[in-house]
Amino acid sequence: MLDLTPKAIVERGALRVNPCKTCQPVGALYAALGVHKCMPHSHGSQGCVSYHRTFLTRHFKEPAIAASSSFTEGASVFGGGPNLRAAVKNIFDIYDPDVIAVHTTCLSETIGDDLNAYILEMTIPDGKIVLHANTPSYAGSHITGYANMLSGFIRYLADPRAPKNGRTALFPGFVNPGDIREIKRVLGLLGLPLIVFPDQSDVMDAPMTNAYAMYPEGGTTLDEIRALGGCERVLALGRFACESPADALDKKCRIPFLNLPLPIGVAATDALVMAAARGAGVPRELEDERGRLLDLMLDANPYFYRKTLAIFGDPDTVLGLTAFALELGMKPGYVITGTPGEAFTRQANALLGQYGVADATVKASADLFELHQWIKNKPVDLLLGTSYGKQIARAEDIPLVRAGFPVLDRYGHSCMPIVGYRGAMRLAEMIAGALMDRYDRDCADEDMDMVM
């Protein structure tokens, strides 16, 4: 399919081909789905929200609900205020959510719709909330949209006068429900009372019960979001997804935050555990998990050592995967994200520098077309990233390990963690399995061993 990708690289300033990101509303919608009894609402045309919902549904294999202002020509010219007013009335009448979280789209941003004014002027039923976030898709990526929607919830709801509750607010980052569940388990072992915001576990991986629930049991409640203003501190995981919402809460409610990397790999998980433990002891169960991970990393080291790889996807995830690949003894050759931001290149280069890797190509705002071209000129042993790497994998005959967002062509992945010590064991097993399968496929008959 990508057999005709040219090897010769031409500099492109204004064109992205096979971008390594999607648009802001996808992230905003995912953030809103992590709030209990929330109806996400896309202020734009039906085509936009169809795409956003389909994209999330394909990754999570769960219905991603959202409504739309259903712009047609009239709204596109005269503004979408009447559409939004009608939509809000219909949504509360028919679907009865506690909150409608409105995000904008390219179209409503371009015509300059003022969501603040629309919401101030509309009639909202008692006890219900309508809030919004601006998510213009010609800036940033779905990660920016996720962060903007979290900031929107904080702006509207976090209460600076909330009573002190002794809890830690956890902003888990743009990760799968399985990752959130694992982070909660780890911090639960440390006895940390938490408010997790947002929390898509038990929403985007709700169990099958034979009865459809428009609003599954999971999700951060509105009272919990109000109570963020009374938390002791925030652990914000991932710079790109969570630093700006944590900063918004700090500015509004004076809640200090610690911005940590996503806990992918040993050092990043250690950092989260130590931050949560705050000098207290670490439970034996966690120490044992860590020890088992190190044992696996040592046992399989001959298969990891100096293997080259390309890592691509969302910035916080890619930085975590890069750190873990380096811990495994692997050698990243290409580290890219589609999300813009030079902080990504700085952090990736700093990680690579710690391990003496000086010849890797690191790029933000990158696309998979250029990654393919680089690989054609200098191949790698493994691809580690989203499903969008599968055409490169096929064209160049390189194994692909799927991790991050989106993974569209596999099942069960969003329930399984890649964070924490257990998640790192799963990642290490997947990477070792892919490399060893490739060895078995290519080796001479006499080297085909049962025990490796």
Question: Taking the complex as a whole, how short is the minimal distance between the CB of residue 69 and ligand SF4, in angstroms?
Answer: 12
Closest CA to 290 of 272, 278, 309: 272
User: Given the rule CB under 6 A, which of 43-51, 113-121, 273-281, 436-444 is the region that contacts ligand SF4?
Assistant: 43-51
Residue with tokens 């409640």: 221
Site string for ligand SF4, 121-160 (x = CB under 6 A): ----------------x-----------------------
Site string for ligand SF4, 8-37 (x = CB under 6 A): ---------------x-x------------
The count of chain residues that interact with ligand SF4, using the rule CB under 6 A, is 8
Residue number with CB closer to ligand SF4 (52 or 413): 52
Q: Please tell me the distance from the alpha carbon of residue 335 to that of residue 327, in angstroms, as a whole number.
A: 15
Question: Taking the complex as a whole, how short is the minimal distance between the CB of residue 138 and ligand SF4, in angstroms?
Answer: 7
Question: Taking the complex as a whole, how short is the minimal distance between the CB of residue 259 and ligand SF4, in angstroms?
Answer: 28
Q: State which of positions 153-182 bind ligand SF4 (CB under 6 A).
A: none
Q: Is 105 in the site for ligand SF4 (CB under 6 A)?
A: yes
Q: Please tell me the distance from the alpha carbon of residue 202 to that of residue 25, in angstroms, as a whole number.
A: 22
Question: Taking the complex as a whole, how short is the minimal distance between the CB of residue 25 and ligand SF4, in angstroms?
Answer: 5
Closest CA to 246 of 340, 129, 354, 168: 168
Q: Please tell me the distance from the alpha carbon of residue 391 to that of residue 387, in angstroms, as a whole number.
A: 9
Q: Strands across the sheet with 168-171, in order?
A: 194-196, 168-171, 233-237, 257-260
Q: Please tell me the distance from the alpha carbon of residue 7 to that of residue 18, in angstroms, as a whole number.
A: 16
Q: State which of positions 378-417 bind ligand SF4 (CB under 6 A).
A: none
Residue number with CB closer to ligand SF4 (106 or 189): 106
Question: Taking the complex as a whole, how short is the minimal distance between the CB of residue 344 and ligand SF4, in angstroms?
Answer: 21
Q: Please tell me the distance from the alpha carbon of residue 381 to that of residue 438, in angstroms, as a whole number.
A: 9
Q: Please tell me the distance from the alpha carbon of residue 144 to that of residue 140, in angstroms, as a whole number.
A: 5
Question: Taking the complex as a whole, how short is the minimal distance between the CB of residue 134 and ligand SF4, in angstroms?
Answer: 12
Residue from 20, 33, 39, 48 touching ligand SF4 (CB under 6 A): that is 48
DSSP tag of 412: S
Closest CA to 293 of 258, 334, 264: 264
* Position 242, amino acid: C
User: Given the rule CB under 6 A, which of 30-38, 44-52, 336-344, 402-410 is the region that contacts ligand SF4?
Assistant: 44-52
Residue 159 burial by CB count (10 A; 0-12/13-18/19+): exposed, middle or buried? Answer: middle
Contacts to ligand SF4 by CB under 6 A: 23, 25, 44, 48, 51, 105-106, 137
